[in-house]
Amino acid sequence: QVQLVESGGGSVQAGGSLRLSCAVIGYPYSTYCMAWFRQTPGKEREGVAAILIFNGTTLYPDSVKGRFTISQDDAKNTVYLQMNSLKPDDTAIYYCAAAIPRFCSVTRHQGFGYWGQGTQVSVSS
């Protein structure tokens, strides 16, 4: 049973930073694509970062490129999302997700079979 355990959400002012963590429990995460998605009420789930664990290849949408960084700690089976220069539009529930590499994407969430519980990020102006 694969579990994704997230932590690190919170409230910050615009321009601030937060770091989210996602620990993968129950399966060697080296075979996965790990990603972060976010969602606000009434909107589609949006990918903000993805990483292929076996080679470190990363993907970002233009909306966060240069502000968000996804990284991995293989010793801890954990991925991180460092979010800098946060904007009010970044306010959302952020979810960690895992998929087999061929479904690795920041434009489609349907291929991700495992999801964390979500963590709230709130950015005030």
pLDDT on residue 29: 82
Residue 47, class by beta-carbon neighbours within 10 Å (0-12 exposed, 13-18 middle, 19+ buried)? Answer: buried
Q: Is it the case that residue 28 has pLDDT exceeding 90? A: no
Question: Per-residue confidence at 97, pLDDT binned at 50, 70, 90?
Answer: very high
- The mean pLDDT value for 95-120 works out to 96
Q: Is it the case that residue 27 has pLDDT exceeding 90? A: no
Question: φ and ψ at 77, to 5 degrees?
Answer: 50, 45
Distance CA 56, CA 13 (A): 31
The mean pLDDT value of the chain amounts to 95
Q: Per-residue pLDDT tens for 29-87?
A: 888 999 999 999 999 999 999 999 999 999 999 999 999 999 999 999 999 999 999 99
Closest CA to 80 of 34, 118, 16: 34
pLDDT on residue 96: 97
Question: Per-residue confidence at 9, pLDDT binned at 50, 70, 90?
Answer: very high
Query: How many alpha carbons lie under 13 Å from residue 7 in its C-beta half-sphere?
Result: 4
Question: Per-residue confidence at 1, pLDDT binned at 50, 70, 90?
Answer: confident
- The mean pLDDT value for 4-23 works out to 97
- Residue 70 near residue 55 (C-beta atoms within 8 A): no
